[in-house]
Each structure stands twice: as C-alpha cells, then as structure tokens.
Amino acid sequence: MSRDQYTFTDPRTLYPTPDQQPDPETQGEPGLQEAMRDFVDIGAETYRGSGRLDGRKALITGADSGIGAAVAVAFAREGADVAIAYLPEEEEDARLVVDLIEKSGRVAAAIPGDLKDEGYCADLVASAVEKLGGLDILVNNAGKQVYAEKLEDLTDENFDDTLKTNVYGMFWVTRAAVPHLPPGSTIINTTSVQAYSPSPILVDYATTKASINAFTKATAQQLAPRGIRVNAVAPGPIWTPLQVSKGQPKDALEEFGAHTPLGRAGQPAELAPAYVFLASAESSYVIGATLSVTGGMPTP
Ligand code: NAD
Ligand code: MG
C-alpha cells in the first residue's frame, strides 16, 4: 500500500477534476460498478484498518457498489463481520465485495433482494443475524435516484419506487433490526446534500433524503435510552453507479462535482471513514447527527 487514508495529501488533486477525465458511460438501473472501474474508488487499494470495529457485526444495504461497498471494505478491515444487501442483478459487483471482506479475514454474508418488499426486509435482518451470529451495526445505505426534468414526467410508479426504496426500505429494515441490537449498537443512514439543497430535477429523491434526516433524528431520540445510537451521513456528489444510471442527465455528468468548492466529485473511499467513526464506540456521545461529506457544499 503506497498510500492509505491517513496519507497527507492535497484534497484538490487526490482525484481527477471533471476536465481531467473522459465522459462517463451511462447505464440502465441499477448500474454496475464493474462498468465504471476508472471512475470509482472504493478504497480497496488504500483503506488501512486499525481494529476500530473489532468483533462487530454489521449489515449494510446497497453494499455491492459505491458508498456501501467502500463502507463494507472499511468495516471488514476494521475487524467487523459484514452482511451485504443488494439487488439480485448486481451479483457481479457483490462478488468483488464479498471477496474483499473475506480477504480481510472476516465473515461475509451476501443476501440479495428488493427493499421495496417488506417481506425481504424482515428476512434480510433475520438472515444477517443468523449468518453473523448477531447484529450491532446497521447501515441503511441503499438508494434510488432517477431524475425527471418536469413534474409531469414524474410518474406515480417512479415516485412510489423512490419512496419505497429510500424511506420504506429503511423503516422496514430498521424496525426488524432493533429487537436484535444490544446496547452499544449503532445505526447509520445515508442521506444527502439533496436534503438541504434539492435539485429541481430530483423532487422525489430530495424528498426522501429530507425524510431520512428526520427519521434519523426521531429514531435517535427514541433509541438512545435503549443504548442504540442513530446518526446519518450526507454525501455530496460522489462517483458511483447511481449517478450514471439515470441519476443525472448526461450533460450534468460531464460536469459532475465541478461546482463544489473542491472542484471535483468525491469518491466512495472518502466516505467510508465517516461511517467507521459513527459505527465505532469512539462516537459514543454523537447521536442524531448528520455528518456532511460534501466537498465543501454548505449544509445547515
Ligand atoms: P450505488 O448505486 O453504488 O448504490 C446504491 C445501491 O442501492 C445499489 O447498489 C443497490 O444495491 C441499492 N438499491 C437500489 N434500489 C434497491 C432496491 N429496490 N432494493 C435493494 N437495494 C437497492 O450508489 P451510491 O451513490 O453509492 O448510493 C448509496 C447511497 O448514497 C444512496 O442512498 C444514495 O442516495 C446516497 N448518496 C449518493 C450520492 C452520490 O453522489 N453518489 C450523494 C448523496 C447520497
Ligand atoms: Mg450497485
């Protein structure tokens, strides 16, 4: 490892700016990371663990690719066994993550399914608990983002799918998980800068991300007296399959990240340490917080 996440570097030049890279290929949903290898860094070459999650047991949704995959790799290298959830059509991406978890010497459980299905959400938790022998970290990270230029183009089906995936899925998985979580457990939800600065073409998506912040703050207060901490992470623009599979129009992808103070999009590898901090006992008094990782885009 020539560089790791602790190496002193200039954040402006750590990854390419939009003018330094080719235009990305667009894909259908949910998009495969395998097809955008040159764009996405999940930290496989750089993340160095130091026992911050030794013996922990984590379930991460949407962990086949992007931010969830980077979090899975980081958690495993920090000493956690990890169950990953994803859509069945993402098996190829999921295999890579399973391999990386196992290479860290940890248990990997792969549990594919659709979070829009409440039955799967309950089975997912039961299966993770069985395969890991318990559960003390839950990361609700799966998400759907499909842009619509005009409100009239936003169909009931799209609106419903986005809310079902991003809000109901989180609710169903969390409700099923809570009875299994011992005091000391941590829940981390992935929200977005879209919760505060919604794009005009992401009406449904931004609505879910504001909901996730409110859900986080409400459940944080309810669960803290039970010793369970709930927090959220709000990413800015990050290179992942979500963005190239109808997450943004093609011309916006060409400029993706350029408008941030840092002048570039972020990478999943740059998100993982935020999740490690919130998962670990070192954040014992951090509850109901949203940690922004936005490349400088302002958040409240
Ligand atoms: P990603 O495409 O790599 O991950 C999203 C994952 O969600 C998919 O891999 C898929 O497994 C899962 N998913 C989607 N629909 C599902 C369904 N119906 N059932 C089960 N799983 C489903 O993209 P990402 O950007 O890493 O997304 C992770 C999270 O980060 C999402 O919540 C997203 O909203 C959030 N986020 C991303 C960005 C960004 O710029 N990439 C910015 C802010 C927030
Ligand atoms: Mg994926």
Cα–Cα separations (whole angstroms), residue 167 to 39, 59, 89, 112, 253: 28, 17, 21, 18, 26
Residue nearest to atom 41 of ligand 1 (CA): 238
Residue 6 counted as domain residue = no
Q: Which of 47, 86, 147, 205 is catalytic?
A: 205
Looking at ligand 1, which atom is closest to the CA of residue 190? 32
Active site residue 205: yes
Please give all residues whose CB falls under 5 A of ion ligand 2, grouped by chain where several chains appear. Answer: 64-65, 90, 241
| Nearest CA residue ID for atom 44, ligand 1 | 192
pLDDT at position 245 is 97
Atom of ligand 1 at shortest range from CA of 67? 26
One-letter identity of residue 25: E
Cα 128 to averaged position of ligand 2 atoms, centre (Å): 19
Domain hosting residue 41, numbered range: 23-293
Mutate to test the pocket of ligand 1, among 71, 242, 256, 292 (most ligand atoms within 8 A of CB): 242
40 in Cβ contact with 268 (< 8 Å): yes
Ligand 1 nearest atom to the CA of residue 33, by list position: 3
Nearest bound ligand to the CA of residue 143:
1
Minimum CA distance residue for ligand 1 atom 3: 66
- What CATH number does residue 246 fall under? 3.40.50.720
**Does any domain span residue 182?**
yes
Cβ-Cβ contacts under 8 Å for 6 (sequence gap 6 or more): 48
Q: Does some domain include residue 1?
A: no
In a domain, 14, yes or no: no
Ligand sitting nearest the alpha carbon of 162: 1
**Tokens for 294?**
């936005």
Pocket lining for ligand 1, CB < 6 angstroms: 30-31, 62, 64-68, 86-87, 90, 114-116, 141-145, 165, 190, 192, 235, 237-238, 240-243
Whether residue 62 lies inside any domain: the answer is: yes
According to the model, what pLDDT value does residue 164 have? 98
Compute, in angstroms, the gap from residue 76 CA to the centroid of ligand 1.
20
Distance 170 CA to ligand 1 centre (A): 12
Q: Distance between CA atoms of 140 and 212, rounded to whole angstroms?
A: 10
CA distances 290 to 111, 126, 234, 281, 282, Å, are: 27, 28, 6, 17, 16
Residue 11 in domain: no
What span, in angstroms and rounded, lies between the C-alpha atoms of 69 and 77? Answer: 12
Domain count, the chain: 1
Question: Which pLDDT value is given to residue 1?
Answer: 62
Give average pLDDT by consecutive 10-residue segment, the chain, 300 residues: 92 96 93 93 98 99 98 99 98 98 98 99 99 99 98 98 98 99 99 98 98 98 99 98 96 96 98 99 98 97
Q: Which ligand 1 atom minimizes the distance to the CA of 266? A: 40
CA of 225 to the centre of ligand 1 (A): 30
Element of type H or E holding 276: helix 268-279
194 Cα–ligand 2 center, Å: 20
Tell me if 3 is assigned to some domain: no
Is 9 within a domain? no
Distance from the alpha carbon of residue 257 to the mean position of ligand 1, in angstroms: 17
Residue located nearest, by CA, to atom 32 of ligand 1: 143
